[in-house]
Structure 1
């Protein structure tokens, strides 16, 4: 069993997922064993690439974008495995399908929460664009009216950024519900079923880890950080243990007393705080270049932020579509067999 991280309380869902996934006697054919090992080794390789090369990469748009892209690839890998297993949906156990459908709708809810926060951050950028336009110092110093308007916009931006997003706040309970469902339903005497459930377990663990890191980055609170403990029998256990330890450790360090731990947002916030006093009522810009320097600095930070925001938004949308299409494909297959209807749509 992988080690418990110092200062972290390992999360164990109700029941024993290890016993469910690794029954005492598991006999797999060479073909199935090859498929399982290949999937788990690929998962381990993807996790190794998630290891931050520099602590400054956590939590940044670049790392988050790569993490979401990695999560998309992992969810695609499980679809490929299902096809290779040649295990038609009609042969899935009802409990497997219930878990899959329940987890997928929770992941969709998390994606919606992330998208709402990314949209909110994008709206905040519009306020700062107004500031840049009003304080365009390329030709002449701004008027007192322009300074006043800029001061108001900066004030609105700070209020908006410090406000809580209830959808992000709700992610914590959703993530705990996902973690609580990690103990798989009892697997019947099906070798293919055991391979499928073990692979799905890996996908679910990594999904929780990545989404937990995202929720923390957006909320600025380490309360959403989850430390999952997995069995050493998994080929990807060490890679997961290492990346989780590094990322969660840095998140906890960054979240101490900070409003935001998202690197690019923190950089923009720092620029705003430098510019804010220069636009206060009654002030007038001096000719020492401080205003121009502050405006240019804000513009540079905004460009980096906007670019990172755009890339991350696209990856989150891609993940949403992967989960949604997988869910829809399963439901379509079930309906064609007259099996079940989606309980979430009843």
Structure 2
């Protein structure tokens, strides 16, 4: 992927850690090790929080929203760590600029794909609302309700083309996990170790989402990580637990792996044969099934809205980082900060 024509500014507010690679420096001091320990302990706790208390929580919309919240917190933490490291403001090496820009644009692409899928699922809400309207006792129209429910199932089972490239994009992120070792910079060593943890959490969460939305666990990643990291045990535990449960859900042949969506589909399946009979509809049974569908539809709609907002919040964190990178590098090089050109660069990468 080509880089913008203008110089860039570092995403990191305090400067460029990678130029320090060329300077000789002792091993991390107790202060630096303390900063790293604090960061890794917080990351380990987030991995522990990511593990559901019950397997039934896996791939609920509320759990998925929680996962994105933890991801946002961790990406914010890396910015705080860089400030605490007091890295000097300096130009990045070209290869590191490319690594960051390519990684960030992959995350933007993934967020766009996830938002598109959440929007597509939400669009089915109108069909469910039409069905519920035609199931109201005062305006009962069984055949119209049945037709709307058929339309909903067809809509939900259709494929979203934006999801097709998610796994290849994730593969590109995984390829950036193994960064070169930092030999001559104590602060660089700390930063690289922290950033490795951030990327591992990012790949884990985005991989789970991609599998859930695409309806395929075939490319669900099982990342190997060195046991030397303070968060490694917690990461392996949650990865094995969640990935294992997702594979079990897929192997059971469910219509969808998203729990709230599956609940709505179960209600639709229960209603459908009753409505098709048409003649001998029992009022009490119909009322109970309709009430059940209405409640589950409401839960699905609310869950999708909240998750979409959280995905957008993560998108904004990544996009803000790109803006800071471009702005700081332009300021450092003396290039005029042209807002229109920044917008053009962003549109180019998001595409």
**Aligning the two structures, in what range does the TM-score lie when normalised by the shorter sequence?**
0.7 to 0.9
Match of 2:261 among 257, 260, 265: 265
Q: Are residue 236 (structure 1) and residue 236 (structure 2) matched?
A: no
CA distance in 1, matches of 2:242, 2:334: 42
Q: Is the 8 A contact 1:71 1:207 kept in 2?
A: yes
**Aligned position for 2:143:** 148
Q: CA offsets per residue over residues 187-231 of structure 1, 9 Å max, x none?
A: 362222221111111111110000111111212211231100111
Q: Is the 8 A contact 1:89 1:334 kept in 2?
A: no
Shift of 1:176: 1.0
Shift of 1:339: 8.8
CA distance in 2, matches of 1:224, 1:89: 40
**Aligned position for 2:18:** none
**Aligned position for 1:210:** 205
Distance change (3 Å), C-alpha of 1:272 and 1:132: same
Q: CA RMSD, aligned part only?
A: 2.1
CA distance in 2, matches of 1:50, 1:169: 26
Q: Is the 8 A contact 1:46 1:70 kept in 2?
A: yes
**Aligned position for 2:271:** 275
Match of 1:223 among 218, 222, 244: 218
Larger mean Cα displacement after TM superposition, 94-103 or 320-329: 94-103
Q: CA offsets per residue over residues 53-81 of structure 1, 9 Å max, x none?
A: 00101011111111010000000000111
* TM-score, reference length from structure 1: 0.86
Distance change (3 Å), C-alpha of 1:345 and 1:233: same
CA distance in 2, matches of 1:174, 1:162: 23
Q: Is the 8 A contact 2:225 2:232 kept in 1?
A: yes
* DSSP 3-state at the match of 2:218: helix
**Aligned position for 2:134:** 134
**Aligned position for 1:114:** 114
Number of residue-to-residue matches in the alignment: 316
Shift of 1:173: 0.8
**Aligned position for 1:5:** none
Q: Is the 8 A contact 2:26 2:185 kept in 1?
A: no
Distance change (3 Å), C-alpha of 1:285 and 1:319: farther
CA distance in 2, matches of 1:286, 1:162: 28
CA distance in 2, matches of 1:243, 1:317: 24
**Aligned position for 1:81:** 81
Shift of 1:274: 1.2
Q: Is the 8 A contact 2:27 2:185 kept in 1?
A: no
Provide structure 1 residue ranges, at least 5 long, that are not aligned to the other structure. Answer: 1-24
Larger mean Cα displacement after TM superposition, 335-344 or 119-128: 335-344
Shift of 1:157: 0.7
CA distance in 1, matches of 2:110, 2:89: 26
* TM-score, reference length from structure 2: 0.85
Shift of 1:336: 1.1
**Aligned position for 2:17:** none
CA distance in 2, matches of 1:163, 1:222: 17
Distance change (3 Å), C-alpha of 1:220 and 1:345: closer
